């Protein structure tokens, strides 16, 4: 795995069948978009992934499946909590994983998760941290628009990498319908 980690440090890893959702802060619509996409494509065996830099106060339903020096990977099994990972499971994800990791270790955690991911299955990841080390099929950024907590998360360096930037109002008006999966479960934007 050291060779993989060295590769990760020197170049971004391309990852097919991965859609990453980042946001400019709390209540920007990240979880809502993740839930909608998971519900829409639940028949494809979709996997949900949440990456966070801190432990959740509610760790119920989480089973530790892997860990490194600076990260932990859990499988979510609780349908009834208010955690984002539980919401993904309720939306219809086949499996949901939670990674607790500093941004600098997100790539290492992602590599450790690979053996738990079914081959050729689409993944929806809620976290901009992974985009700094992985090139997904699509990278979506949810913003507050003209008002709200725009400065809550420092993702200015990621804005040029976004395939789509959307406000929560645009999400509610149907703009997310352009996000689709092809016959090979690769994410793309309909034009």
pLDDT value of position 154: 74
Rounded Cα distance between 183 and 84, Å, is 28
- Parallel, antiparallel or unpaired: strands 123-126 and 95-101: unpaired
With tokens 């929806």, the residue in question is: 124
Question: Average pLDDT, stretch 158-183?
Answer: 94
In order, the DSSP letters of 125-145 are: EE-SGGGGTEEEEEEEEEE-T
End-to-end distance of the chain based on CA atoms, in angstroms?
Answer: 39
The pTM assigned to this predicted structure is 0.87
Compute how many other C-beta atoms are within 10 angstroms of the C-beta atom of residue 111.
19
Average pLDDT, the chain: 86
Contacts for 39 with CB less than 8 Å, ≥ 6 apart: 91, 92
Cβ partners under 8 Å of residue 124, min gap 6: 19, 21, 34, 37, 38, 46, 47, 48, 49, 88, 93
52-101: per-residue pLDDT in tens? 987 766 778 899 999 999 999 999 998 888 888 889 999 999 999 999 99
Residue 4 has pLDDT above 90, yes or no: no
pLDDT category, 178, cuts 50, 70, 90?
very high
As a whole number, mean pLDDT of residues 155-177 equals: 92
Q: Could you give all domains of the chain from N- to C-terminal order, each with its CATH number? A: 2-189 (3.40.50)
Q: What is the pLDDT of residues 20-63, one digit of tens each?
A: 999 887 778 899 999 999 999 999 999 999 999 877 667 788 99
């Amino acid at each position: 795995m050291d060779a993989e980690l060295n590769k990760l440090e020197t170049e971004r890893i391309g990852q097919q069948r991965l859609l990453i959702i980042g946001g400019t802060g709390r209540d920007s619509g990240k979880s809502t978009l993740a839930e909608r996409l998971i519900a829409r494509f639940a028949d494809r065996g979709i996997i949900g992934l949440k990456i966070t830099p801190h432990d959740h106060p509610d760790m119920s339903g989480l089973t530790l499946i892997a860990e490194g020096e600076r990260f932990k990977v859990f499988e979510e099994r609780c349908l009834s909590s208010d955690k984002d990972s539980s919401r993904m499971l309720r939306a219809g994800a086949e499996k949901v994983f939670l990674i607790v990791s500093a941004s600098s270790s997100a790539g290492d955690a992602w590599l450790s998760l690979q053996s738990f991911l079914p081959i050729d299955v689409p993944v929806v990841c809620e976290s901009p941290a992974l985009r700094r080390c992985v090139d997904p099929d699509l990278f979506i950024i949810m913003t507050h628009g003209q008002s709200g907590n725009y400065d809550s998360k420092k993702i200015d360096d990621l804005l040029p990498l976004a395939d789509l930037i959307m406000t929560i109002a645009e999400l509610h008006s149907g703009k997310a319908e352009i996000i689709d999966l092809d016959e090979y479960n690769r994410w793309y934007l309909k034009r």
